[in-house]
Amino acid sequence: MAEISAPRGVRDILPDESWKWAHVFRTIGETARNFGYSEVHLPIFEHTELFARGIGDTTDVVEKEMYTFTDKGGRSITLRPEATASMVRSYLEHRMDILPQPVKMWCTGPMFRYERPQKGRYRQFWQVDFESLGSPHPYADVEIIALSLEAFRRLGLTSLEVVINSVGCPACRPAYRKELSDYFASRSEELCGTCRDRLERNPLRILDCKREGCRKVTEDAPDVLGSLCEECREHFDSVRSGLDSLGAAYHIDKRLVRGLDYYTKTAYEVLSGALGSQNAVCGGGRYDNLAEAIGGPPVPGVGFAAGVDRIVMVMEQEGCSFGPEPLIDVFGVALDEPSRTELFRLVDALRRAGISADMDYGKRSMKAQMKSASSRKARFACIIGESEVAAGTVVVKNLQDGEQREIPVSDAPLDIRTQLLSTRKG
Ligand SMILES: [Zn+2]
Ligand SMILES: [Zn+2]
């Protein structure tokens, strides 16, 4: 046992899982390319101010969940709890406004939040994050929704369903906010303590309280769609008709809100799984006032983020394929010590020919080495002993059908490659 273990709420992604992650990243990366999104790599820490302004300092994330520290230069630094603010900061810093708009970028990496660890929730968690910056057009929203749907479809998730709503804009939201807070005030005795605190500060957030009592009260809450201004209404209608034209099924959920002022118009989530056990696999929406919130000029934007830990978990629950498991092609078996040098040379030649090959270096019996070959699920064993060294040959044993042939050792890379290709095709 190691004396030092990983801190609470973080974990290692080990080989039995990491190959699944690689499949998820590859699939999402291909989808991104098909939709014209370029990958960027952003810093893991930023000035604390970016998140305080770009997420909102009354949110749980900023109030309670950030990993913030003072660096040796006396600056307040925060490990990123999400990627959108960094993405917009990068757009502004690199003057991407002079490029053709929208600028479409995605990134992936670990995010950090000090939350209570529970199943599927970690303090270091991975997200993929997509942002389309610079276009106010409703089709930018539709594109983002279609992209997320397509990525999840390619990953094999089923019963995908889009839930959308509009959260309005600074022109129409204050009236809705007032209407909502009057409504909740009239039923405040039914709300939980947290929601009573939210009455003044942020009544929209009461809509996504998970408590039974609060959910019951929200059922009759005024609908945001009834108070949209003309611009927001038109935008929402265009998003809906855009989704219709792509044949994407969706339904409207008036509880889907974002409590912060820079979120505007479209809010959406993608759900997967049979009814009753539906999982949100991504969330996103439009944030036309975020760039200004962090001190830039107005830049319209829309995007989504999805948790990779969660995607993998849902894929496992649904029995999705992660593609072929990366198995080894060849395991080398030496029958005695002097043969091991010859075997080592062969394994090296196989690797350089693009064949996955391995062997072990301990003095182990042939039986033990063959056992390793089968536990590594190798396709072939290459066996070399005294007589093979003398003859310049190797015994190639097909571990699937048991057939074995002795061939010149110099022919082995090409021979094995040919066999691997022919069986892969079949
Ligand atoms: Zn509006
Ligand atoms: Zn509540």
Residues 163 and 303 in one domain: yes
Ligand 1 centroid distance, CA of 232 (Å)? 4
The residue among 292, 317, 342 that closes a domain is 317
pLDDT of residue 187: 92
Ligand 1 centroid distance, CA of 291 (Å)? 18
CATH number at residue 38: 3.30.930.10
Residues 111 and 51 in one domain: yes
Is residue 322 included in any domain, yes or no? no
| Vertex 331 angle, CA 326 and 336, to 5° | 160
Residues 22 and 121 in one domain: yes
Closest ligand to the CA of 229: 1
Amino acid 39 reads: E
pLDDT of residue 275: 54
Closest ligand to the CA of 264: 1
Residues 153 and 182 in one domain: no
Residues 285 and 184 in one domain: no
Residues 344 and 387 in one domain: yes
Ligand 1 centroid distance, CA of 233 (Å)? 7
Gap between the Cα atoms of 215 and 60, Å rounded: 20
CATH number at residue 377: 3.40.50.800
**Pairing verdict, β 161-166 and 103-112:** unpaired
Ligand 1 centroid distance, CA of 170 (Å)? 6
Is residue 68 included in any domain, yes or no? yes
Residues 276 and 149 in one domain: yes
Is residue 238 included in any domain, yes or no? no
Residues 137 and 267 in one domain: yes
Ligand 2 centroid distance, CA of 213 (Å)? 7
Along the 426 residues of the chain, how does pLDDT read in single tens digits? 679 999 999 999 999 999 999 999 999 999 999 999 999 999 999 999 999 988 877 777 887 899 999 999 999 999 999 999 999 999 999 999 999 999 999 999 999 999 888 877 899 999 999 999 999 999 999 999 999 999 999 999 988 999 999 999 999 988 998 999 999 999 999 999 989 988 888 888 888 888 899 999 998 999 999 999 999 999 999 999 999 999 988 999 988 887 566 789 999 999 988 656 677 899 999 999 999 999 999 999 999 999 999 999 999 989 999 998 889 999 999 999 999 999 999 999 999 999 999 999 988 999 999 999 999 999 999 999 999 999 999 999 999 999 999 999 999 999 999 999 887 654
Closest ligand to the CA of 196: 2
Ligand 2 centroid distance, CA of 277 (Å)? 22
**Residue 130 DSSP code:** E
| Vertex 54 angle, CA 80 and 127, to 5° | 40
Query: Residue 277: helix, strand or coil by DSSP?
Result: coil
Which of 161, 154, 155, 131 has the alpha carbon at shortest distance from 143?
A: 131
pLDDT of residue 274: 63
Contact of 382 with 330, CB cutoff 8 Å: yes
Is residue 290 included in any domain, yes or no? yes
Ligand 2 centroid distance, CA of 217 (Å)? 9
Is residue 196 included in any domain, yes or no? yes
Q: Which domain holds residue 179?
A: 173-227
Closest ligand to the CA of 234: 1
Is residue 6 included in any domain, yes or no? no
Residues 146 and 256 in one domain: yes
Ligand 2 centroid distance, CA of 182 (Å)? 16
Question: CA of 199: how far to CAs of 56, 97, 246, in Å?
Answer: 17, 38, 39
Residues 221 and 281 in one domain: no
pLDDT of residue 72: 96
**Pairing verdict, β 161-166 and 264-272:** antiparallel
The residue among 317, 344, 375 that closes a domain is 317
Ligand 2 centroid distance, CA of 262 (Å)? 23
**Residue 156 DSSP code:** T
Question: CA of 418: how far to CAs of 214, 331, 409, 414, 422, in Å?
Answer: 65, 17, 15, 6, 6
Specify the long-range contacts of residues 411-418, CB closer than 8 Å, at least 24 apart. Answer: 412/346, 412/349, 412/350, 412/382, 413/349, 413/350, 413/352, 413/353, 413/355, 414/353, 416/329, 416/330, 416/350, 416/355, 416/380, 416/382, 417/353, 417/354, 417/355
The residue among 285, 317, 349 that closes a domain is 317
pTM score, two decimals?
0.91
Is residue 324 included in any domain, yes or no? no
Is residue 312 included in any domain, yes or no? yes
Q: Which two tokens stand for residue 139?
A: 């089709």
Ligand 1 centroid distance, CA of 302 (Å)? 16
Closest ligand to the CA of 197: 2
**Number of structural domains found in the chain:** 3
Ligand 2 centroid distance, CA of 212 (Å)? 8
Residues 353 and 398 in one domain: yes
Residues 164 and 191 in one domain: no
Instruction: Name the H helices within 223-365.
Output: 230-245, 290-293, 308-317, 337-352
Closest ligand to the CA of 190: 2
pLDDT of residue 426: 45
